[in-house]
Amino acid sequence: MSDAPPIPADLRAWLAEIGPRWLDDTAGNVGAVTERFSALHRAAPRPPLRETLDLPYGPHERHRLDVHAPRTPGPDAPAVIFVHGGGFTDGHRNRTPEIYANVARYFARHGMVGINIGYRLAPQSIFPGGTSDIADAVGWTHANAERLGIDPTRIFLMGHSAGGAHVASYAYDRRFRPADGRFIAGALLISSRVRADNAPDNTNARRVEAYYGTDASVFDDVSGVSHVDAHAPPSFVAWSEFENKLIDMYSAELVYRLAQVRRRTPPMLYLPGHNHTSIIAHLDTAEDALGAAMRDFIADPR
C-alpha cells in the first residue's frame, strides 16, 4: 500500500504516552485518538474507489450502509461488513468522514467490497435489536451480491467493541441464524465486548444495562461468547495492548472457547502499542499487521 500514509513518529509517541493512562479518561482518549487519525487519513491521497453511500437496508433511519468497492472490481469479490462500536447507546458508521470509512476503504483497496452499516441504539432498541439489524444487513448483502460483484459464499462480518457484541450473537447464537441459510463465511471480532456483565469494575456497566437490561441472571445467555459451539463459523480475534476495561479478558475467553470446540486455536492477534480506538482507526495506514492478518483469514477462513 505505497500510497497509504505512515503513522508519524510524533503520533506513535503520543499513543505510547496515553496508552498506560487509557482508562483514566476513556471517553476523552477515544475522542482524541479519533481526531488525530481522522486528520491523518484526511491528509492522505484518497484511493480511486467506487463509493455508494447512505443506502437503506431497512425502514429505520439508522438502517443505512455505505459500500466501498474497487473502481474496477473483479468478479465475485469477498465482502466485509463492518459493525461499529459505541457502547450500545452511541456511535455511528461515520463517526467522522474518515472514521470508520477507513475500514471499508482498506478492504476495497485490497480488491474486496467493504460495507459499513449502522444499527439502532439502546435504550430505544434493546437486545436482540442490534443482532436483528445485522441479520437484515447480511440479508441485504446476499440479495444484492450480484449487483455489487460479491461472491455470496464469501461474505464476512466484522465487529468492533459493542458492534462485536452484536456480531458475536449473530455468529454464535443459533437462535439468530437466518432460516433461509444465507449466513456468513466468517467473523472478525476486534476488541469486542462479547460478554454482557454489569460487574462493579465494568466501566460500561450502565450502557450494558441499557441494552441487555438489569437482570444479571440472563447475562450469560445473552452473551455471544456463551454460545460458541462446533457449528461456529471460522473466526478471527484481535485486541490491543491498551483496552477498555475487560475487553482483553472477553477476547481471550472467546479465543479459548473457539479453541475448545475446534480443537485448535483460531487465528488471533494481540496488537502492542495500540489502544481500543487506534486498533480500528489506524487501518488504511502503512502499518499493516492487523490488516494483513485479516486478509490472510479472509483468503483462507478456518
Domains assigned to the chain: 9-299 (3.40.50.1820)
How far is it, in rounded angstroms, from Cα 96 to Cα 109? 20
Contacts of 238 (CB under 8 A, 6+ apart): 188, 189, 190, 191, 251, 268, 269, 270, 271, 279, 290, 293, 294
pLDDT value, residue 2: 62
Pairing of strands 186-192, 150-161: parallel
Find the helix packing angle between 129-143 and 162-172, rounded to 10°. 70
Q: What is the phi/psi pair of residue 254, to 5°?
A: -60, -45
- The reported pLDDT for the residue numbered 105 is 97
Burial (Cβ within 10 Å: 0-12, 13-18, ≥19) of residue 65: buried
Residue 254: all three cell numbers together: 472467546
Q: What is the CA radius of gyration of the chain?
A: 18
**pTM exceeds 0.95:** yes
Question: Collapsing DSSP states into helix, strand and coil, what is residue 118?
Answer: coil
| pLDDT of amino acid 46 | 87
Pairing of strands 77-83, 113-117: parallel
| Residues of the chain with confidence (pLDDT) below 70 | 1-2, 73
